[in-house]
A and B are shown apart, each in its own frame.
Chain A
Amino acid sequence: MAQQFEPLIIGFTCNWCSYRAADSAGSMRLKYPPNIRLIRLMCSGRIDTTFVLQAFANGADAVLISGCHPGDCHYVEQNYKAQSRFLLMRRMIAQMGIEPQRLQLLWASAAEGTIFAAEVTKMIEEIRKLGPLNWKGGQLSAVSHQRSAIAEVAV
């Protein structure tokens, strides 16, 4: 049986909406594949372009930025700043030869555990189809170890 490609996705979530959405997905016993690993920030506005580039450089196949719905930001309007950085970074990674859909933005409120789980699952499938992110000169040795770890969990 051919081994299925298991992507590694880093998700940045905000403390108030999207992290709570993931939390509520958990308390609702919803399931989504373990390919995504979340990092909690206080606000999606904390997204530093370097975090995203670091994630790609270190072997993540995709990055998800997730925050509160427009107008619902706990810090008034910082998710708009996350959005403008997201748009900027999408163009930037495209110029670097990375498919823009490897960087995604998801608005999820604290009550939207179902939506969060469904969207994350969709994203993982999309990235699975896209295949691994291949850097020229490949810096992937550390990550191949990681992939097999995920594959074990997924089985």
Chain B
Amino acid sequence: MVSVGSHKNINLMAYSEVTKVEGYVGNFTVTVRKKARYVKEADCTGCGICQEKCPKKVIDQAYEAGVGYRKAIYTPFPQAVPKYPVIDRDNCTFFQKGTCKACEKFCASNAIDFKQQDEYVTFQVGNIILATGYDLFDARRISQYGYGRLANVFTNLEFERLSSAGGPTGGKIVLRDGVTVPQSVGIVHCVGSRDKHYNNYCSVICCMQSLKFAHLVKEKTGATVYNFYMDMRTAFKDYDEFYQRVLDEGTLFVRGRVAEVTDAARQSGEEGKLIVQVEDTLIGKQRRIPVDMVILSAGLEPRHDSKQVGHLFGISCASAGWFIERHPKLDPVATMTEGIFIAGCAQGPKDIPASVAQGAAAAARVVGKVQQKEIAVEPIRASIDKERCSACRICNNQCPFTAINFIEAKNGARAYSEVNPALCQGCGTCVAACPSGAIAGTVFSSKQITAQLNGLMLLNIGEAVPA
């Protein structure tokens, strides 16, 4: 990211939102709202003193997944690029109560600007790559798993923060009380995935992620680890070898979908524990397994606003909300809209190597287009027969691309309408609308469609085939 941030040909706009996209391949006009971060980027040196001095602590729901804190002026994480912090308006004491300004007082380069406004920037681009990622499935939706209700049920992202050396516990795997090391841990696979009540698809990453968690727990705490899985999906290079390694380490695997996670003890040995109720389908028995900690491997979901984003860029989403590629096998990078490419989880659930590969492929496709200097377009265009045009102007309002110009009568010449072939996209609406039949659509002419119609009803058998 650092090399991206400092590359002279890359203009990185963090904390910004695309609000409007107009034009077509090679000639997009994009409007971006640069949200006010209340820090002047030109003056900020990224020293971090403001974050140190800010008196307001806020629970970090984004990067720390709700298990850690950040300040009201913050960067998402220490290595973030760009390094400029942002003031969280809803939590900043100055914005809420009108006093404080600690960050302004301590800033050596006077970079804090409480009066900063959102800024709209417009620029021209030739191609666009969408890599908008995914949302994590909200494990609260499956209430029988107890997330949000039972303290020691964690989500995968929360566990990631616990096990990270830079996380709130410094990498110590502990229960919600912050001190107790778990003696036994249950990891539940397929939470919100492969489940007709939530998402039908497989989220791809959870099996490997759960294996990694099992390995980390074993390594750091020596606890007994149970993996509750439906099927192990360890496709791709070196993945199954890792599964074998985790098996050898002594992690226990129970094949079956977890019915419930509860704290209601029924038998001795269950008191004060979380009990995982599961059918072990390999022995055909219901089991109650008491553990100290449960980790839910929540699945991936499309971004909540993917439909709106797709609409903004003129591409469509499948029913679940993942962006649709041009072809599921032969062209998983391009979209039906020329000049718009997709990469990563925006297209569908995938792991890091696949995302990196798709991102590189999308970049290469764009470079290819740039190198070509010109693009091939479909020859499907409308054209108006000047002689037959009655200058009624009906077609003028039909065109959404304003490709039809009206030429006024002049020097005795009749008025008529005319198609600008550079703007025409070839939809054919004007062809159908023309009451004089003066507009011809190449490839989809009325004659061709009528011939197809007759052909489908076997009316033109024996007729000469048009050359």
Contacts and interface: CB of A to CB of B under 8 A. Distances in A.
A in complex with B: yes
Interface of A: 8, 10, 16-17, 20, 27, 37, 39, 41-43, 45-51, 54-55, 58-60, 68, 71-72, 74-78, 81, 85, 109-112, 142-143, 145-146, 149
Contacts of B380: 42
B336 A74 contact: yes
B446 interface: yes
B86 interface: no
B450 A54 contact: yes
A51 B316 contact: no
Contacts of A149: 458
Contacts of A77: 400
Contact of B457 (A41, A58, A78): A58
A5 B104 CA distance: 82
B450 to A, nearest CB: 6
Contacts of B450: 51, 54
B316 A111 contact: yes
B338 to A, nearest CB: 11
Contacts of A54: 450, 453
Contacts, number: 99
B324 interface: yes
Interface string B347-365: 0000000000000000000
A48 B456 contact: no
Contacts of B336: 16, 20, 74, 110
A43 B429 contact: yes
B398 A81 contact: yes
A46 B444 contact: yes
B312 to A, nearest CB: 12
A59 B314 CA distance: 38
Contacts of B317: 111
A41 to B, nearest CB: 6
A51 B318 contact: no
B324 to A, nearest CB: 6
Contacts of B133: none
Contacts of A50: 446
Contact of A39 (B432, B456, B459): B456
A10 B456 CA distance: 8
Contacts of B428: 41-43, 45-46
A72 B400 contact: no
Contacts of A58: 453-454, 457, 459
A81 B450 CA distance: 21
Contacts of B319: 111-112
Nearest to A81: B429
Contacts of B337: 74
A46 B318 contact: no
B429 A142 contact: no
Contact of B427 (A27, A42, A72, A110): A42
B453 A55 contact: yes
Given A58-B453, A142-B457, 7 more contacts: A20-B336, A41-B444, A42-B427, A49-B432, A110-B336, A112-B319, A143-B457
15 contacts: A10-B457, A39-B456, A41-B428, A42-B444, A45-B398, A47-B432, A48-B431, A51-B449, A72-B311, A78-B427, A81-B429, A110-B316, A111-B318, A111-B324, A146-B458
Contacts of B431: 46, 48
Interface residues of B, number: 34
Interface string B317-339: 11100001000100000001100
A109 B316 CA distance: 8
A42 B446 CA distance: 13
B426 interface: yes
A112 to B, nearest CB: 7
B171 to A, nearest CB: 43
B467 to A, nearest CB: 21
B457 A146 contact: yes
B452 interface: yes
Quick one: which of A59, A110, A143, A149 has the most chain B CB within 10 A?
A110
B424 to A, nearest CB: 10
B262 interface: no
A123 B399 CA distance: 32
Contacts of B426: 42
Given A16-B336, A58-B457, A72 B316 contact: yes
B199 interface: no
B441 interface: yes
Nearest to B318: A111
Contact of B458 (A39, A45, A78, A145): A145
Nearest to B400: A76
A6 B336 CA distance: 36
B425 interface: yes
Interface in B215-245: none
Contacts of B400: 75-78
A133 to B, nearest CB: 12
A55 B380 CA distance: 24
What are the 5 tightest A-B residue pairs by CB atom distance, in nearest-first order? A46-B428, A45-B429, A75-B427, A43-B427, A76-B400
Contacts of A43: 427-429
A142 B429 CA distance: 31
B453 A46 contact: no
Interface in B430-467: 431-433, 441, 444, 446, 449-450, 452-454, 456-459
Contact of B425 (A10, A72, A75): A75
B382 to A, nearest CB: 10
A41 B449 contact: yes
Contacts of A75: 400-401, 425, 427, 429
Nearest to A50: B446
